[in-house]
Amino acid sequence: MVSTPEQRELICRARNGDKAAFETLIGPQLDRFYGLAYQLIRNEDDAADVVQEALIKAYRSLGSFRGDADFFTWMARILRNTVLDELKRAVRRHEEPVETLPESLDRSLEGKAEQKELREIVHGCISQLSSKLREPLVMFDIEGYSYEEISQILGINIGTVKSRLNRARESLRQKLNKQRNRLAGWVKVSDELPAS
């Protein structure tokens, strides 16, 4: 994938200091960037900060964008690296990521607590995966990125993306099986993963 002519024109204008062109370029993808950052960091404020930091880095680095890849892919790589930097900083500060989950207004307090606990169990199991397995799982199954986009963002071939995704799902299934007692009543953890 390469940048479209419209993207190339906006990039050229942004390189010349046109901030509105840069905003037009990244605007349609902001929700997607935030979603990816949130799924990897699990903290709303930190995810927003990371997206902002990545956007600043991208704007300052426009001169290094060669155009041989899609602009979105280039930007997602910058975002991913910024997320990894933030996670390393959090480890150095000995911080635990704080999870803020949206709550549906129509659920009872008990239902909200149960839903939050279920999400914590699943997200806890996902967070135990190595980053090599967690990143493709989050990108594909949660954020909806294509195999091609993941391949370009992570710098690996599509076959490797599919292999890591399968290993991630299997590892997640095993981790959830170990949580059977806590999951009882919410979901049935089977030995088979649903077809994707």
Domain 104-187, what fold?
Answer: Arc Repressor Mutant, subunit A (1.10.10)
**pTM higher than 0.85 for the full model?**
no
Domain ranges of the chain: 1-100, 104-187
Strand residues in 23-137 grouped as ranges (E): none
Q: Does the pLDDT at position 112 exceed 50?
A: no
Q: What is the mean pLDDT of the chain?
A: 79
Looking at per-residue pLDDT, the higher value among 93 and 160 belongs to: 160
pLDDT of the residue at 95:
52
Residue whose pair of structure tokens reads 């933030």 in the numeric block = 86
Q: Does the pLDDT at position 39 exceed 90?
A: no
pLDDT of the residue at 21:
93
Residue-wise pLDDT tens digits, 130-183: 989 999 999 998 888 899 999 999 999 999 999 999 999 999 888 888 877 665
User: Could you give the percent of the chain with pLDDT greater than 90?
Assistant: 35
The mean per-residue pLDDT over the stretch 117-132 comes to: 83
Q: Does the pLDDT at position 98 exceed 80?
A: no
Q: Please give the Cα distance from 63 to 61 (Å, whole number).
A: 5
Phi/psi at 144 (5° precision): 80, 20
CATH of 1-100, picked from 1.10.10.10, 1.10.1740.10, 3.40.640.10, 1.10.510.10, is 1.10.1740.10
